Structure 1
Amino acid sequence: MAKILVVDDDANIREVVCFALHKAGYQTCVADNGEQALQRVASEAPDLVVLDILMPELDGTEVCRRLRADPRHAALPIIFLSSKDDEIDRVVGLELGGDDYVSKPFSPRELVARVRARLRALQAAVQPPATRLQHGRLALDTEQYKAWWNTHELDLTPTEFGILRTLLSRPGKVCTRDHLMNEAYELNRIVSDRTIDSHLRRVRAKLADAGGAAAGEAIETVHGIGYKLGPCT
C-alpha cells in the first residue's frame, strides 16, 4: 500500500485529499508547511508527495528544489497542488522537477487518478511487468488473458480477469472495492459497490467449478473494506 505525503497549509484541503486517497486504498501522512514537509519526507519515506505551492515558511517550489537536489529523493514523484492557474506557474513547477500539476478547485477523483498514474509510471520504470502471475494453484497469463486453477482453464470476462489479476498481484493483502473498480474498469467508468460484488460472486463460482468448494473460497471478504486473495491451496 503506497504512502502519500499531503502538504498544504489549509486543513480542509488536507482532509479532503486524505479522505479521497484513503478511499482509493492509499496510506497518507500530512504536513502543513514546507519545513515540516521536508521532515516528513525524511521520517515517513513516502512514495509520492502532493505538494501545495503557496505555503508559509517555505513554499512548494523551494521544497521541490531541495528534494530534487538530494540524491535520496531525486526520483520521488511530486504532484503540485495550487490555486495559481497561470501557465507560467505550471511551467515553473514542472521545470523544477514536478511530475504533474493540479489546480484548485480540483476533483478529488482526478487527483487520485493522477496519483495512481504517477505511481504506475514509477513502478514500470524500475520493474518490467510480469506476464505470468502465480499464487498457489491459481495462475494468470496477463499477455494471453488466460487464467487457470491447477490445469483447469477459467472462462473469465475481461472485467473478471481484471479483478482476479488485481487480487493476484498482491496476494494476502486487502484490496478495497474502489481499488478493484479502478483496476478492472476503464478510468472514467463509474460503477457501484454492488456491481463489483456481483462480479466477485461470479469469479468465486467459476473457481469453485474448477477446483471445488475450497477454490471458491480463495477470495476472502474483509467486511467493510473489500477483498483479499487467500492461500489458494
Structure 2
Amino acid sequence: MTTPSSSVTAPSRASVDLTEAARAGWESWLARRVERVTGPRGDLALVETRWLEPGESVDDEQALAGYGPSATLTRMRRENLDTGEPEYGYRVWDAASAGIRSFDAIETFPFDAAWVLEAWFEPVSEDRTVPFEHLRDNGATRDLVVPGDIIFSLVEDGRAQEYTVAAFDDGGTLLVPFGDPTNRSDDPDLASYPVGRFLVVQRIGGAADAGTPGPVLLDFNRAYIPPCGFSPHYNCPLPPAQNRLGVPVTAGERRVRRDSA
C-alpha cells in the first residue's frame, strides 16, 4: 500500500481545509482542462511546428498554404543549442484538426485526498539553471531557470523518502515535470502517460513572491499530461533524475482517449 506524506517542516498531509478546497475545485479544473486542450489554440489544435534555416523567410500566406480557413499562425524564437544564436520559427494551429475531431476524453485517476500534500519551497540566492532534456532533442539539453527547490516526503510501506525536486519558471508559474512508476506500468488501470506528467506548484496564502521560502501545495490530483501527449508537434521538457519519484502517483490525469471510429 502506497501512502503519500509531506514535508520538511510538517510531516503530514495538507490541512483539512486545503484538502476540501482541492476536492471542491477538482471537477471544474478537469472541465477547464478539456476546454483548454480542445480550443482553437489548444494542445490538440497544433498541427505544425517548423524552425527556419538561417536567413530563411516564410510569410504567413506561405506558412498557411495547404491549410483550411480554420488554421492560424504564431511566430516563435529560441536560442540554438550549440551556438546560442537566435532561431526563428512558427506554429500552425487548426481549430478543426484531426486531433480535436478524434478526441474523446482525458482519462484520470479518481480524486484522492491523500495526494494533496503540503511541501516546502526553498529559493536559491540567485536564479539557477538546470539542464533539461527535451522529448525531440535526441538527448541534447536546454537550460531552464529553476528559482528554487520543492521539498517533500512520500511514504511507502511505512518508510519515508524525502524528495527535492526542481520546479522551473514557466512564465512566473512554478512547474514540476515529474516521472513515477505509473509511466512504465503494464497495468491498464494504473498506467499513465509514458513521458511523465506536469504539476503546477501552488503557493499557500498567495501573498509571498517567488523569492520567498514557505509552504506550498502539491495537489497531484491536478497532475496533467504535457502538451506533447496531445500533439507530436510539441517538444516537452523531460523529468530530470531528481524529479523521478519511486512511488506510483495514482492521482491526476493518466492518458488521452481518442475515438477509434
- TM-score, length basis structure 2: 0.24
More helix by proportion, 1 or 2?
1
- TM-score, length basis structure 1: 0.26
More strand by proportion, 1 or 2?
2
